[in-house]
Amino acid sequence: MSANHDGTTLLEVRGLTKIFGTLTACDHVDLNIAKGEIHALLGENGAGKSTLVKMLFGSLEPNSGEIFWNGQAVRITSPGAAKKLGIGMVFQHFSLFEALTAAENIALSLDDGSPISSIAAKARALSYSYGLPLDPESLVGDLSVGERQRIEIIRCLLQTPQLIILDEPTSVLTPQEADKLFETLERLRSEGKSILYISHRLEEVKRICDRATVLRHGKVVGHCNPRQETASSLARMMVGNEVKAVVRAPAEGIETAPALLDIRALTRKPATPFSIPLKNINLRVRAGEVIGIAGVAGNGQGEFFESVSGEVLQQDAGSVRIRGKDAGGLTITGRRLMGAAFVPEERLGHGAAPRMKLSENLLLSRHATDGKAFVGSGGMVKSSAVYSAAQRIIEAMDVRKSAPDPEAAALSGGNLQKFIVGRELDRRPSVMVVNQPTWGVDAGAAAHIRQALIELARSGSAVLVISQDLDELFEISDAIAVMHNGELSKPLPIAEATFEKIGLLMGGAEPGHAEHTLETA
């Protein structure tokens, strides 16, 4: 049965449903992709986009529903079967092998037995013809995230797919790299290929997509033509209600305020062959301000956070100073005792112990700084004090949960992140360093966290935020610095910062050079 198949529909999905335990991740989803269109799949984190795509690519099996390919009912039982049909996929978290070369990575996904050298030549030719230059001999572990994405795209194109699925492709790119990607996608569309474009960035969806399907809580809530919608009408469809805008009161008198976090000539050798060295980083964060650090993932942000938080100690104790005192030789606990607080990037396993209760997680990170409140005489834990502190944080941050004191892993990503940020805020730290505060967090929770960070700064603390999300940094920062290849640019005051300037710095342009190209452009 292939109702209304008129030869223009490439893929049709009817009533696709996937249930994990008690959660219905995809609930009777209908989707319809025409030949030669760029179709957007919109939705918040946890709306079911990834689950839907995994079913289309054969890595998850649907509980019910039908998939039609060129009018024929098909069952896609494995990624191999999807490739045979002509479905290619560019993953969000790349599925590349770091220890192998680009050419070897490409060869692995092609089934023909042709020698690596001929595959390398083909890949090189194709990459240049699409304006995505690629060196097939280079080791993936050495490449930037943007270059890795090129390998994924070239690898996908070499399989000559009819449908290409891109999962959040621009989340790891500079604005300029994203422009380049859009050109490639438009060229593919003109060649008659279909593209399923998954994103939560509304502006780019409006810019390149012909149609959009919007998912919310696993259900399709609407189909639309994104060009006829506004960003806010799309956001309403995605979120279901209005999201409270973040308010940033002007910071006053921060020029004369003391620098509570002072980083001087911070340098670090690479710990592993694939990690980034830090090169002479200087940064001051004053009382009352929020400084943002932008940058493409993998340019040294992780190494920088480890150094500032004390996960890795510095040889020069003066390279990290907290409230005017050298802290470079102190451990995390030592720095916490000086009034600093840190929120790492990974929620589960780094920010919180997954199988421990929220109150236990609270005790783990604060037993040293709040020793008197939480630990009584003889080293006995005051469970009730810890429990009530956890409840205070849960209330302040509006953490939604199913039990009074659940395990960390039982919370959704957004709610756990609210708890972890709240745990640190509750101490009223005078220095707060956060890495990716709202990664994978839904819009409502993200706005809550951002507002809380701004308010902490305005109450007299120094706040440093490392983020890949430029929108977020523009929303909360008083100045933005850019990290590229282990070097940190001078912070640009928010009034002078634009997406173009920051984007050029993210791509590695010299600050002076960046302004020059803008003027001549």
Partner 1 sequence: MDITVNILLTIATAATPLLIAAIGELVVERSGVLNLGVEGMMIMGAVGGFGAGYLTGSPWIGLLAAVAMGAVFSLLFAVMTLSLATNQVATGLSLTLLGLGLSGMMGTSFVGQPGERLPNLDIPGLTSIPVVGRLLFGQDPIFYISIALTAAVMWFLFKTRTGLTLRSIGDSHTSAHALGIKVIRYRYLSVIFGGACAGLAGGHLSLVYTPQWVENMTAGRGWIALALVVFASWRPWRVLAGAYIFGAVWIGQLHAQAFGIPVPSQLLSSLPYLATVVVLVLISRNKRLTMMNTPASLGQPFVPDR
- 113 belongs to the binding site for partner 1 (CB under 8 A): yes
Q: Which is nearer to partner 1, 25 or 504 (CB)?
A: 25
Q: Which two tokens stand for residue 230?
A: 């506004």
Of 91, 130, 305, 387, the one binding partner 1 by CB under 8 A: 91
> Does 274 participate in binding partner 1 (rule CB under 8 A)?
yes
Under the binding rule (CB under 8 A), the answer on residue 150 touching partner 1 is no
* Tokens of residue 443, six digits: 């819009």
Q: Give the single-character DSSP code of 446.
A: H
For partner 1, the closer of residues 53 and 434 by Cβ is 53
Distance CA 479, CA 493 (A): 4
Q: By CB under 8 A, is residue 21 in contact with partner 1? A: no
Q: Which structure tokens are listed for 454?
A: 């701004």
Alpha-carbon Rg for the chain in angstroms:
24
Strands 259-268, 278-286: pairing is antiparallel
Q: Does 273 bind partner 1 (CB under 8 A)?
A: yes
Q: Which of 17, 32, 109, 267 touches partner 1 by CB under 8 A?
A: 109
Is residue 19 at the binding interface for partner 1, with CB under 8 A as the rule? no
- Check residue 54 for interaction with partner 1 (CB under 8 A): yes
Within 110-261, where are the H helices?
A: 116-129, 145-158, 175-190, 202-208, 231-239
Is 17 or 331 the residue whose CB approaches partner 1 more closely?
17
* Residue placing its CB nearer to partner 1 in the complex, 105 or 415: 105
Contact 271, 303 (CB under 8 A): yes
- The answer to whether 469 touches 492, Cβ cutoff 8 Å, is no
Residue 67 contacts partner 1 per CB under 8 A: no
Q: Is residue 100 at the binding interface for partner 1, with CB under 8 A as the rule? A: yes
CB 172 within 8 A of CB 145: yes
DSSP 324: T
Q: Report, in Å, the least distance between residue 275 CB and partner 1.
A: 10
Kindly tell me which of 51 and 438 has the beta carbon lying closer to partner 1: 51
Q: How far is the CB of 79 from partner 1 (least distance, A)?
A: 4
Tell me the two tokens of residue 160: 């000559």
CB of 150 to partner 1, least distance (A): 17
Q: Judged by CB, which is closer to partner 1: 123, or 235?
A: 123
Give me the DSSP letters along 115-156. -HHHHHHHHHHHHHHTT----TTSBGGGS-HHHHHHHHHHHH
In this structure, what token pair is assigned to residue 161? 């797919």
Q: Which of the stretches 81-89, 204-212, 286-294, 383-391 binds partner 1 when contact is defined by CB under 8 A?
A: 81-89
Residues that bind partner 1 (CB under 8 A): 54, 57-61, 78-83, 89, 91, 94-100, 104-105, 107-109, 113, 116, 139, 141, 272-274
